[in-house]
């Protein structure tokens, strides 16, 4: 009997500025694993469309894999190695297993470095975006407090 594994998407719903602050603080800590795959924001300070936009933007940064930059750096490393090889006066006939293995190794290192940098950039963008939302929430709270005290 075949069993079909269901894809379960672990969604964390953020309903309040306090919950947003707690989540924003948590992303500043280094972690390799998370059970959360998707974030959904339902902050009453924002409209439905704004919450959807925030959710989409945060999820794109939060789930970034670094693959685009990784593949770019890998490709550039490969091209640079080939160009360097021939600029040093080598020919196709002199290509051996050593050159092939070195090329593969350096190319993989380039991919790994690009992926790590891509993940770092996504994390920085995520932190900056959450800071923007936190500042906006703080401003809204300040305006609402002043309006209620009048």
Looking at the structure of the chain, the number of domains it has is 1
Residue 137 lies in a domain: yes
In a domain, 105, yes or no: yes
pLDDT, mean of residues 12-16: 92
Per-residue pLDDT reduced to its tens digit, 73-106:
999 999 999 999 999 998 888 899 999 999 999 9
Q: Which domain holds residue 116?
A: 11-149
Q: Looking at the domain assignment, is residue 107 inside a domain? A: yes
Q: Please report the pLDDT score of residue 6 as a whole number.
A: 42
In a domain, 45, yes or no: yes
Chain length of the chain: 150
Q: Is residue 5 part of a domain?
A: no
91 within a domain of the structure (yes/no)? yes
Six-digit token pair at 144? 């609402």
Position 30 pLDDT exceeds 70: yes
Contact status, residue 45 vs residue 137, Cβ threshold 8 Å: yes
How is 23-80 classified by DSSP, letter by letter? HHHHHTS--S--S--EEEE--TTS-HHHHHHHHHHHHHHHT--SHHHHHHHHHHHHHH
pTM above 0.85, yes or no: no
Secondary structure (3-state) at 94: helix
């Amino acid at each position: 009997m075949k069993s079909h594994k269901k894809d379960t998407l672990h969604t964390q719903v953020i309903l309040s500025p306090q919950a947003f602050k707690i989540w924003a603080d948590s992303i500043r800590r280094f972690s390799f694993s998370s059970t959360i795959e998707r974030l959904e924001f339902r902050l009453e300070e924002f409209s439905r469309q704004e919450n959807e936009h925030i959710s989409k933007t945060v999820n794109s940064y939060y789930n970034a894999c670094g693959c685009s930059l990784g593949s770019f750096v890998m490709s550039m490393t490969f091209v640079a190695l080939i160009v360097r090889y021939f600029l040093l006066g080598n020919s196709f006939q002199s290509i051996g297993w050593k050159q092939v293995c070195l090329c593969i190794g350096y190319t993989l290192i380039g991919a790994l470095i690009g992926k790590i940098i891509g993940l770092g950039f996504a994390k920085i963008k995520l932190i900056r975006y959450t800071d923007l939302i936190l500042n906006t929430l703080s401003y809204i709270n300040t305006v609402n407090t002043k309006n209620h005290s009048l």
